[in-house]
Amino acid sequence: MITIIDYGMGNLRSVEKAVEKFCQGVKVSSSPEDVAKADKIILPGVGAFGTAMRELRKRRLLGAIRDSIEDGKPFLGICLGLQLLFSESEEGGRVKGLGIFEGKVKRFRGRPGLKIPHMGWNSVRLQGGRETGLQGLDGSYMYFVHSYYVEPKDKDIVFCKTNYGADFTSGIRKDNVWAFQFHPEKSQSAGLKIMESFVKAC
């Protein structure tokens, strides 16, 4: 069973529909018990970092998410679901995240011609040595909507980068954790390849 975590801030139906193309065993739930019982977990998200952490805490999901990741359960974070994995965000001040990875979530700095939020299609460049079956996606265009980006302390977890005024981390991969700043569920065939690979990964 794949559980998509509902904490009131995700594009749940679009993510669910993308997963259902490759697996019928999918459930949308806000229950920590369902997260604990799931074979795989997806954490989508749209909105503010601090509000998301508050909603996860209110639903008693923080411990369930951390425990599942530490137990090696396959995990996919999407957009805000990527950012929440890190130590803290500068959005709304200094807000603590899940702390799965060390690093900060930072806001794009305004530059002439650089619109914030970063919205629309942009290409991703896979970083070397990634043996995930996704190498063919290098240079593919994915759909983004965000004003903040992650800056991991451990550069070895960076799976792909994207340029928007400057290079930023648009995806990470470490062990059982996959997470992307873009929306694979909205990125047509290239994004669906990621969803398929996650669903079918051991």
Output the pLDDT for position 140.
Answer: 96
The DSSP annotation for 147-165 comes to SEEEEES-GGGEEEEEESS
Q: What are 12-67's pLDDT values in tens digits? A: 999 999 999 999 899 999 999 999 999 999 999 999 999 999 999 999 999 999 99
Per-residue 3-state assignment (H helix, E strand, C coil) for 79-95: CHHHHCCEEEECCCCCE
Whether 102 is catalytic is no
In this structure, the dihedral spanned by the alpha carbons of residues 116, 53, 105 and 38, taken in order and rounded to 10 degrees, is -110
Radius of gyration, alpha carbons of the chain: 16
Cis peptide upstream of residue 117 (ω within 30 degrees of 0): yes
The catalytic position among 118, 146, 160, 185 is: 185
Q: Let me know: does 79 contact 145? Beta carbons within 8 Å.
A: yes
Q: What is the distance between the alpha carbons of residues 169 and 112, in angstroms, rounded to a whole number?
A: 21
Each residue's pLDDT tens digit, 138-182: 999 999 999 999 999 999 999 999 999 999 999 999 999 999 999
**118 is a catalytic site residue:** no
pLDDT score of 202 more than 70: no
The rounded distance, in Å, linking the Cα atoms of 152 and 169 is 8
Q: What integer is the mean pLDDT of 72-79?
A: 98
CB 61 within 8 A of CB 40: no
Count of structural domains within the chain: 1
Residue 20 annotated among the catalytic residues of the structure: no
CA quadruple 155, 161, 163, 169: dihedral sign: negative
Distance CA 181, CA 80 (A): 7
* Structural domain of 57: 2-200
Specify the pLDDT at position 13: 94
Q: Which residue out of 91, 118, 183, 196 is catalytically annotated?
A: 183
pLDDT for residue 131: 57
Q: Given this model, what pLDDT does residue 24 score?
A: 87
Q: What is the pLDDT of residue 56?
A: 97
- For the chain, the 3-state helix, strand and coil shares in percent, each to the nearest 5, are 30, 35, 40
76-119 per-position pLDDT tens digit? 999 999 999 999 999 988 899 999 999 999 999 877 888 999 99
In this model, does residue 129 exceed pLDDT 80? Answer: no
CA distances from 31 to 12, 43, 90, 95 (A): 15, 13, 28, 24
Q: Pick the closest to residue 117 from 178, 165, 68, 74 (CA basis).
A: 165
pLDDT band at 132 (very low <50, low <70, confident <90, very high): low
Does the global pTM surpass 0.85? yes
Tokens for 143, please give them: 């759909």
Task: At 154, list the tokens.
Answer: 């451990």
CATH number at residue 22: 3.40.50.880
Query: Cα dist. 78→10, 13, 183 in Å?
Result: 9, 14, 6
User: In terms of Cα–Cα distance, which of 137, 145, 144, 107 is closest to 122?
Assistant: 144
For residue 133, the model assigns a pLDDT of 67
Over pLDDT 70: what percentage of the chain?
97
Instruction: Choose the catalytic residue: 16, 79, 118, 196.
Output: 79
